[in-house]
Amino acid sequence: MHTTSRVRRLIATAVTAAAVGTSALTLMPTPAQATDTFTWSIDANTVRALVQQENHDEVYVASVAFRTTPGVPGSTTATYHGHLSEINGVDVNETHGIPDAMGRVSFANVTRRSLSDVLAGHNPEVVGTISFLFERDLTAFGTIDNLMEDVADAAETEIAQVVEPLTLADLATGEIVDRLGEAADRIEESATPPLLRRIGIFLGSLFNPDDLIDHKVNVFVAVDSTLAALVDAEIGSNIPSSTGVGGALRPRTYNQVFTGDGGSYRVGFAVGT
């Protein structure tokens, strides 16, 4: 899937951007802030075919949600969202809605940290999703569910081992970047089924398995307006569109283009409470 370098860049920049960036602001005033805790969602809202893979494509989105806080043991979770359903008759230049049950992933009790919070030692949480776009053929949804559960388990283990022990100082070192890259490699390996399992999927799909078009990452650092501009600048300049979208956790809408295996589709996302 050619994802190793993309995932490495994402993990190395997204997790470090808030902490490294905020360490440069120690001389700024630290106004008191009210608690900013809400349920946030990352919502894959619409899909539009730019290049059809087949006539009247049938597509669906599978999402793995994750959240973690640097320096906080036990803070990491990664879960497969599920609720797959077909979006039928997706032709070129047609926009179709993605059902909320499948596309909308929620994160409860997310506190956006202020500058004063961070300077007091409360690191901001990182929340996000990995969105996989498939073109539907004959693979059973149960098989896809099992594969995505494996991806979520691998992601949780690797993110916890690498991110949770970090401090603000650790995040700025080259050694940490190398460790994050190694973790990304292991997650990618876990996301690729072994040979015998791939053969089983192929046979079980009557020689016409579902096609993984592409995957993108949506990753946001839970900071409020006192840090949002800095985090947006740091993450926006380091995450290429081929990898995904990231920045401060704030209301926003954007598009991501999923391209591969003969098809290209634009998915519209919204972040909000």
Identify the domain containing residue 256 by its residue range: 4-272
Instruction: Give the type of residue at 45.
Output: N
Is pLDDT above 80 for 107?
Answer: yes
Q: Which two tokens stand for residue 183?
A: 């973790």
Q: Whose structure tokens read 């401090």?
A: 167
- Sign of the Cα torsion 5, 51, 103, 204 reads negative
Question: Backbone dihedral region of 2: left (phi > 0), alpha (psi from -120 to 50 degrees) or beta?
Answer: left
Higher pLDDT, 165 or 188: 165
> Could you tell me the pLDDT band of residue 197, with boundaries at 50, 70 and 90?
low
Q: What is the pLDDT of residue 31?
A: 46
How open is the CA angle 101-249-158, to the nearest 5 degrees?
75
Greater confidence, 63 or 212? Answer: 63
CB atoms within 10 A of CB 223: 30
Q: What is the pTM of this model?
A: 0.80
What integer best gives the mean pLDDT of the chain?
A: 79
Confidence grade of residue 118 (pLDDT, cut at 50, 70, 90): confident
**Are residues 124 and 222 in contact, defined by beta-carbon separation less than 8 angstroms?**
yes
Bigger pLDDT: 73 or 118? 73
- pLDDT of 140: 87
Q: Is the pLDDT of residue 89 over 50?
A: yes
Name, in order, each residue with C-beta under 8 angstroms of 108's C-beta and a sequence gap of 6 or more. Answer: 39
pLDDT value at position 54?
76
Position with higher pLDDT, 252 vs 135: 252
User: Given this model, what pLDDT does residue 84 score?
Assistant: 96
If you average pLDDT over each of 140-144, 179-183, 248-252, which comes out highest?
Answer: 248-252
Output the pLDDT for position 206: 62
Residue 22 pLDDT = 40
Phi, psi of 129 (to 5 degrees): -135, 150
**CA gap 130, 148 in Å, rounded:** 10
Q: How far apart are CA 8 and CA 26, in angstroms?
A: 29
47 compared with 203, residue with greater pLDDT: 47
* Per-residue pLDDT tens digits for 12-27: 444 444 344 444 343 3
CA 225 to chain CA centroid, nearest Å? 22
Rounded CA-CA distance 177/164 in Å is: 14
State the total domains in the chain.
1
Highest mean pLDDT: which range of 44-48, 112-116, 160-164, 211-215: 44-48
Q: Encode burial over 52-69: b for 16+ CB neighbours within 10 A, e otherwise.
A: bbeeebbbbbbbbbbbbb
For the ranges 59-73, 186-200, 257-271, which has the lowest average pLDDT? 186-200
- Give yes or no for a contact between 172 and 20, defined as CB atoms under 8 angstroms apart: yes
For residues 89 and 151, give the distance between their C-alpha atoms in angstroms, rounded to a whole number. Answer: 29
CA separation for the pair 231, 124 (Å, rounded): 11
- Quick: pLDDT tens for 34-82: 588 999 999 999 999 999 877 778 999 999 999 988 888 999 999 999 9
Q: How many CB atoms lie within 10 A of CB 164?
A: 16
Q: Which of 5-14, 57-66, 180-189, 224-233 has the highest mean pLDDT?
A: 57-66
Q: What does the pLDDT read at residue 101? A: 97
- Does residue 204 surpass a pLDDT of 70? no
Whether 188 has a pLDDT exceeding 50, the answer reads: yes
